[in-house]
Structure 1
Amino acid sequence: MIGRLQGRILAKHPPQLLLDVNGVGYELEAPMSTFYELPAVGETATLLTHLAVREDAWTLYGFMRERDRALFRALIRVTGVGARMALAILSGMDAARFAQCVEQEDTTALMRLPGIGKKTAERLIIEMRDRLGTLMMAPGAALPSVIGQAASMPVTGTADQALADAIGALIALGYKPPDANRMARAVDDGSKTAEDIIRAALRSVNPG
């Protein structure tokens, strides 16, 4: 099992990133909660990882915080919730907000996330309620990484490309193309990075 990787970021295309670890390039998928904290391309980052093994693919998922990885692992054990939906949940709200939704039985907030209907929201509340105490006790501190002004640098060189990357990321997270296009364009002012556009778009859907 690969539990942790430290290396230089070669590319960031949310929700995918490429990490160079001693000359080996690891492709990972990560929630936006992790992307918001990643340093710029070319800088070094340390990520906690989860390796999902299927017959047709081995997929690595990366997280800045143990709490997020623990929540991801709990979510993919819920009936009907796969890795893609778990990434969408962690991208649309942090662990504390998710815990609040479960404790308050707020199906409406959960249903604002892509791919989650009423039955899935109710199942999440029922199956996650008893696990929240353990999850919220997981260490919340980020692992050491290079985070500073470089972390806010654009993912791409142009505003148009940043918007395109943001739309692509929202689609990858489960939003329908027309919705992703509408959400991204509604918050883009021509000066935001792709990650800023994604963050604003997700907050517009679930402001809590």
Structure 2
Amino acid sequence: MFNSITGIITGKFPQKLLLENNGIEWDLICPDTSLDVFPPAGNEVKVYTYLQHSDVLMSLYGFASDSDRQLFFDLMKVDGIGPKAAVKIMSSITSRDLVNVLENGDLAALEKVPGVGKKTAGKILLQLKGKLSLDNSVSVSKQKSSQYGDVVTALVDMGYERVKALEAVEKISCELSKETDFSEKNTAEKEDAVFRRALLFLAR
């Protein structure tokens, strides 16, 4: 069908990405971990896609990398896991971390992933352990297109919800980008400024 879509991001919502390409706005179901990788609205990005088509439903799924999409396919090989369940799982844990959990046979950690109970965790481990691999040339947790992926991750590690952290970082980064002195800072200084203001914003 088609492998990917390149366009301008017009909106980012929990597990949802809006992308405009040649006058057409695509509505894609997207794992939150992929959304973290994508830059803010208004930027151009390449999205790897999967079209689910049945007699009663047509849904388009989007991913930050081909490796993420392959993991999505692998998860759907597990009995009881459909596209939406796979996206829910991938929204709660990065592809790299999930692969590590499976390779280590860490059933307890797998059971803690939202959307995965004890029974499903056992099925995933049995079906996928030792069968997953990620392209080392692609950073699954972040891409060059996302300057503030590390900031979002840091906020999540502090206990903030991923969606709220992402919204705060996007809001603050957009505000700071309008300031002249901010544009003159290096990457580390920009990340620090965004982190500090996002932290204050979330603490309100």
Q: What are the equivalent positions in structure 2 for 1:23-62 lying under 5 Å apart? A: 23-62=23-62
**1 or 2 for the larger relative contact order (CA 8 Å, sep ≥6)?**
1
Q: TM-score, normalised by structure 2?
A: 0.68
In structure 2, the CA distance between the partners of 1:24 and 1:144, relative to structure 1 (3 Å rule), is farther
**Contact 2:68/2:95 (8 A) holds in 1:** yes
RMSD: 3.1
Residue equivalent to 2:128: 128
**Which stretches in structure 1 are left out of the alignment for 5+ residues?**
153-182, 197-208
Amino acid in structure 1 at the alignment position of 2:138: G
Residue equivalent to 2:93: 93
In structure 2, the CA distance between the partners of 1:195 and 1:55, relative to structure 1 (3 Å rule), is farther
What count of residue pairs does the alignment treat as equivalent?
161
**Contact 2:89/2:115 (8 A) holds in 1:** no
Residue equivalent to 1:187: 160
**Contact 1:39/1:145 (8 A) holds in 2:** no
**Contact 1:76/1:83 (8 A) holds in 2:** yes
**Contact 2:93/2:113 (8 A) holds in 1:** no
1:195, 1:79 → 2: CA distance? 37
Cα shift readout 1:15-74 (whole Å, capped 9, x = no counterpart): 111111100111101112211111111211111111111222111111111111110011
Amino acid in structure 1 at the alignment position of 2:108: T
Cα shift readout 1:62-121 (whole Å, capped 9, x = no counterpart): 111111111001111211111122112222222221122212221221111222111110
1:37, 1:108 → 2: CA distance? 27
**Contact 1:7/1:19 (8 A) holds in 2:** yes
**Which stretches in structure 2 are left out of the alignment for 5+ residues?**
151-155, 170-204
**Contact 2:102/2:130 (8 A) holds in 1:** no
